[in-house]
Amino acid sequence: MTYRAPVKDMLFVMKELAGIEAVAALPAYADAGYDTAAAVLEESAKLCEDVIAPLNWEGDKNPSSFRDGKVTTTPGFKEAFRQYAEGGWQGLQHPADYGGQGLPKLIHAACSEMVNSANMSFALCPLLTDGAVEALLTAGTPEQQSTYLPKLIDGTWTGSMNLTEPQAGSDLSMVRTRAEPQPDATYRIFGTKIYITYGEHDLAENIVHLVLARVVGAPEGVKGISLFICPKFLVNADGGLGARNDVHCVSIEHKMGIKASPTAVLQYGDHGGAVATLVGQENRGLEYMFIMMNAARYGVGVQGIALAERAYQKAVQYARDRVQSRPVDGSATAAAAIIHHPDVRRMLMTMRAHTEGCRAMALVAAAAFDAAHAHPDAEVRKQNQAFYEFMVPLVKGLSTEMSLDVASLGVQVHGGMGFIEETGAAQYLRDAKILTIYEGTTAIQANDLVGRKTGRDGGQVARAIAAQIEATEGALRQRPSAAGRAMAQRLGAARAAFLDVVDFITTQGRAQPGAVYAGSVPYLMLAGTTVAGWQMARALMAAEDRLAEGVDADFMRAKIVTARFYADHILNKATALRDSIVDGSEAVTAMALESF
């Protein structure tokens, strides 16, 4: 089965929940209203469905290869990337001053979901380039920006992010790659970086590596880390490519999933040192790199939604085609397609509800990002920035964990055939696992949510979100529908559970840090499930209103049913999560270490 982009659902969320017309009212996005979004999404869907999606299975069977220091990507990737770049997709959300289209993140996020659904291994290259662009826009000098941004944005060059070293995974204070200052104000880089996505490939003329390194004599720990631009090929004064830099791929990893995406081990400085230029100021590299990280973390959350959508579509198609057993309700007198069986429908509804809930949460967050950067009122910008920052760990953490669950259900729907690689269902499960790990594991997202996003401000942003949820509950209770009343009840219970945990974190964070952080991942799941449920509640009301107006009745009825399912089968887990966090922390740490 081929991939079909869920354009209708994306546009529904943009219009009814994310407020695309309000985004288009911002001066920076004056031409980016609903009609523009619809046109862009339709074109993105064509490219993703017709060109990129057919390469997904091929990439799993025939992944990137490494020989004699060179990486060759899957057949078809190079031509697909050329079409992607020539279509302007790399520059969709980036400034027109550097050749981009300057569209809001809201539109870019939907297009990003499509390309990741089509082929996640392929989409990782643009994702890393987006992060490099964001970092240079924020901290690069005018000369660095004019040298690198146009080529990154038009896809002539790509970007990579170099953090991890053999001894330094999540703990970047252990980075040992060194940078030696030179008389001409450049630096020479020496060291080894691992897990570098698209750190070497054949899709573009040059690769612009952004590298964390420690300047000789810098302080120990994270305070002594700087960020450098270190291109594969040096760039001449006229902007053309110069000599090959002293950075080389020495191997690529053999991975469980995303096999077509080359994950490189890069060696810097075997022949005198890799020439690099400093980004911003010395010893502020981690601060700048987190700009890339935050962009990438949101992007990885979108990858989770994308993969869940693809797994759901495949499972639905199989369930329609696979004939097995008579339905228990007697609706057929002979064996029928398994989509008739209640438990198969439960699995498909679970997949669908999770995906739509996380999509709604992510696109609403993207609209907040746009307002945070482009609204003329400083206070509105501040409020939206706080909301967006709270959302990032939820989008990354919940969406990726749910993608693993959804992909697993997809295999289950296929039964024994799901365990056979040729059906393709297993690829989504293997690909999904990395999403909960890279760009910060789920536990790291949860620690960020507890410490920085909830504890630091005493829970102010969390409680402000809860107040908005409560207002939605009130609107639901005014509705005559059973679905609305049920959603109000479930949403109210989830909100109360969420607030209980916020109180627990803010009152016990200093006195019992072990107890608080023992529940950090369940808190992330609780917060994300509640916020996604809030968006599904808003979707339910919008769908009821559109249905009453006679707009696209089949779609609106399906949205109402999906929202009701989310309330009764997903949102109702919030209270159990609350209990495990507030009442269950002691059991997490009670076991003596030697007893494990």
Domain positions in the chain are: 7-65+72-153, 157-283, 452-590
Distance CA 226, CA 278 (A): 7
Strands 263-268 and 241-244: unpaired
The pLDDT value given to residue 1? 61
Helix (H, G, I), strand (E, B) or coil at 195: strand
Question: Alpha-carbon distance 278 to 184, whole Å?
Answer: 12
Residue 263: pLDDT band with limits 50, 70, 90: very high
Does 433 have pLDDT greater than 80? yes
Q: Is the pLDDT of residue 28 over 80?
A: yes
pLDDT one-digit tens code per residue, 55-114: 999 999 999 999 999 999 999 999 999 999 999 999 999 999 999 999 999 999 999 999
CA torsion through residues 478, 480, 486, 487, sign: negative
What pLDDT does 110 receive?
98
157-283 folds as Butyryl-CoA Dehydrogenase, subunit A; domain 2 (2.40.110)
Among 211, 201, 313, 207, residue whose Cα is nearest residue 264:
201
CA atoms within 13 A on the CB side of 247: 32
- Give this prediction's pTM: 0.97
Q: Tokens standing for 524?
A: 């992330």
The fold for domain 7-65+72-153 equals Butyryl-Coa Dehydrogenase, subunit A; domain 1 (1.10.540)
pLDDT digits (tens, 9 = 90+) for 311-349: 999 999 999 999 999 888 888 889 999 999 999 999 999
DSSP state, 52?
A: I
Residue 229, token pair as written in the block: 């631009």
- Residue tagged 């109210």 (tokens): 492
Q: Which residues contact 489 (CB under 8 A, 6 or more apart)?
A: 567
pLDDT digits (tens, 9 = 90+) for 185-225: 999 999 999 999 999 999 999 999 999 999 999 999 989 99
Mean pLDDT for all residues in the chain: 96
What is d(CA 276, CA 269) in angstroms, rounded to the nearest whole number? 11
Q: 147 and 235 in contact (C-beta within 8 Å)? A: yes
CA distances (Å), 313 to each of 351, 409, 434, in order?
9, 12, 21
Residue % of the chain over a pLDDT of 70:
100
Position 38 scores a pLDDT of: 98
Answer whether residue 182 shows pLDDT above 90.
Answer: yes
Among 578, 444, 470, which residue's Cα sits nearest to residue 523?
578
Average pLDDT over residues 461-471: 98
Window from 292-296, 351-355, 501-505 with minimum mean pLDDT: 292-296
For 178, the token pair is 């060194």
| Amino acid symbol at 493 | A
pLDDT (0 to 100) of residue 171: 85
Give me the amino acid identity at 242.
G
Alpha-carbon distance of 140 to 55, in angstroms, equals 35
User: Cα(53)–Cα(150) distance, rounded to whole angstroms?
Assistant: 27
Number of other CB atoms surrounding residue 581 within 10 Å = 25
Average pLDDT over residues 251-263: 98
- List Cβ neighbours of 251 (8 Å cut-off, separation of 6 or more): 66, 264, 265
The two three-digit tokens of residue 61, written as one number? 């069977």
What positions carry a catalytic annotation?
439
Residues whose CB falls within 8 Å of the CB of residue 7, separated by 6 or more in sequence, listed in order:
38, 41, 42, 45
pLDDT at 168: 86
Mean per-residue pLDDT, 251-267: 98
Whether residue 169 has pLDDT greater than 90: no
- pLDDT band (50, 70, 90) for residue 384: very high
With H, G, I as helix, E, B as strand and everything else as coil, classify residue 425.
Answer: helix
CA nearest 345: which of 562, 539, 532? 562
Structure confidence at residue 170 (pLDDT): 84
